[in-house]
Amino acid sequence: MIIMRFSLSLFFCILIFSLSLPVFARQQEINSPDASAAQAAAAVGQPSGPVAVPEPSEKALRYHQSGIVLWLFGTFWGILIPALFLFTGLSARIRTLAQKIGRKWFFVIAIYLTIFTLILYVIDLPLAYYSGFVREHSYGLSNQSLGKWFSDSTIALAIEIVVNAIFLWLPYLLLRRSPKRWWFYTGLLAIPFLILATLIQPIWIDPLFNDFGPMKNKGLETKILALADRAGISGGRVYEVNKSADTKTLNAYVNGFGQTKRIVLWDTTIARMNENELLFVMGHEMGHYVLGHVWKLIGFLSALIMLTLFLIHRTAGWMINRFRDKFGFDSLSDIASYPLIILLFSGYLFIAQPIAMSFNRWIEHESDRFGLEITRNNRDAATAFVKLQEDNLSVPRPHWLDRMWRASHPTLGERIDFCNEYRPGKRASRSNTSIFSNRLIDK
Ligand SMILES: [Zn+2]
């Protein structure tokens, strides 16, 4: 719910990107070493042939269905709460209070945002506690202690307050100085902000929540580094994180930018998968790295933010004219308008969600292909996805509407099918894969 709340907030939409690059870049397992290893496996009697997509367990179906209900409720909640701040006049009252305390324009903005964020945190707390702690435990997906959950939640709140105070005065300054073009300048400013957020996340944000270090299994690390070398990624960019403190689910991700760019493997994944499966997972992540997906996501998100800000610009005035008596403000440049911006932002992002998800699924699919090309072991890739499905209580073939709005990755059914069908090396030079295929050929 904290993440959900981030998504409501103008600039936190940006942070959600950086925070959720992991989310975007996640769930890539499947591994396959190379053809000779596959032949060796076959020679010693290990199974070969296509890997079946398992039927979801009854528990997975329940988790999935209740997850949809929770998502729908969270979406509704994300519109309802900012609306309440507006229509009850609460937002205007917080602004008046902030003016009394802060006096100077900049401090009024910072104080308003801090009070608003704190109230929102308290309102969201029960739902956040249920969805992030109670529910995960009741399905056996978490062994996180209540203390760790609460400390993570408080740290996220502190980050949100600090980031709001540092950055959110900028769009309000632009709203005052350039009421007609503020959306354009704010959209432009979002680009360096996104880059900055992506750059500092792995070194300043992530370590506040978990411990990151080199791989503990040195034999595995050597193989991963050899794979990274073949993918053209310099050493020292692979990290292990102690996610077992938080969850029993599996994952890996790429994040960072420039010098901070890295691949992170959850220790839960290391414990659950065999070496070949892990190598496929890493091959997938290396695909994100080599194929420039961080840049592509930043470009895509920048365009989405610009468009959304433009739509807010075109519609907020009408809302304010219509409801100014209830809202208690008559201009978008008044900080009391913040819940209105959040509300409109959430609404437009909800509409744009299928496009964003579809873009992300394409990126993920390209990384799956890369992983298969570099490891050449389709079967281990497929079994890695099977483990992902089982351990994360995923449903392999969700309803198309669910897929459209919520699937940031191809469904696990699609991914396992792809592993069964795809023939590495057959697609020599197509845009993305050519970067790597060339290297393979050179080798
Ligand atoms: Zn991925």
Label residue 425 by pLDDT band (50, 70, 90).
Answer: confident
Gap from CA of 269 to ligand 1 centroid (Å): 14
Task: Report d(CA 412, CA 41) in Å as an integer.
Answer: 24
**pLDDT tops 80 at residue 111:** yes
Gap from CA of 291 to ligand 1 centroid (Å): 11
The reported pLDDT for the residue numbered 12 is 34
pLDDT digits (tens, 9 = 90+) for 75-106: 999 999 999 999 999 999 999 999 999 989 99
Q: Quote the mean pLDDT of the chain.
A: 86
Contact 274, 379 (CB under 8 A): no
Label residue 232 by pLDDT band (50, 70, 90).
Answer: confident
Gap from CA of 56 to ligand 1 centroid (Å): 22
pLDDT digits (tens, 9 = 90+) for 273-327: 999 999 999 999 999 989 999 999 999 999 999 999 999 999 999 999 999 999 9
**pLDDT tops 90 at residue 10:** no
**pLDDT tops 60 at residue 347:** yes
The reported pLDDT for the residue numbered 59 is 97
Task: Average the pLDDT over each of 24-33, 37-46, 86-95, 324-333 and give the range with the smallest value.
Answer: 24-33
Biggest CA-to-CA distance, the chain: 79
**pLDDT tops 60 at residue 47:** yes
Gap from CA of 23 to ligand 1 centroid (Å): 8
**Of 29, 277, 285, 364, catalytic:** 285
> Model's pTM, two decimal places?
0.84
The reported pLDDT for the residue numbered 258 is 83
Q: Tell me, yes or no, if 285 is annotated catalytic.
A: yes
**pLDDT tops 80 at residue 431:** no
The reported pLDDT for the residue numbered 236 is 67
Label residue 257 by pLDDT band (50, 70, 90).
Answer: confident
Gap from CA of 418 to ligand 1 centroid (Å): 15
Task: Average the pLDDT over each of 13-27, 223-237, 253-267, 346-360 and give the range with the smallest value.
Answer: 13-27
3-state secondary structure the chain: CHHHHHHHCCCHHHHHHHHHHHHHHCCCCCCCCCHHHHHHHHHCCCCCCCCCCCCCCHHHHHHHHHHHHHHHHHHHHHHHHHHHHHHCCHHHHHHHHHHHHHCCHHHHHHHHHHHHHHHHHHHHHHHHHHHHHHHHHHCCCCCCCHHHHHHHHHHHHHHHHHHHHHHCHHHHHHHHHCCCCHHHHHHHHHHHHHHHHHHHHHHHHHHHCCCEECCCCHHHHHHHHHHHHHHCCCCCCEEEECHHHCCCCCCEEEECCHHHCEEEEEHHHHHHCCHHHHHHHHHHHHHHHHCCHHHHHHHHHHHHHHHHHHHHHHHHHHHHHHHHHHHCCCCCCCHHHHHHHHHHHHHHHHHHHHHHHHHHHHHHHHHHHHHHHHHCCHHHHHHHHHHHHHHCCCCCCCCHHHHHHHCCCCCHHHHHHHHHHCCCCCCCCCHHHHHHHHHHHHC
pLDDT digits (tens, 9 = 90+) for 211-222: 999 999 999 999
The reported pLDDT for the residue numbered 233 is 86
Label residue 328 by pLDDT band (50, 70, 90).
Answer: very high
- Domain regions of the chain by residue span: 2-442
Task: Report d(CA 27, CA 350) in Å as an integer.
Answer: 23
Gap from CA of 192 to ligand 1 centroid (Å): 24
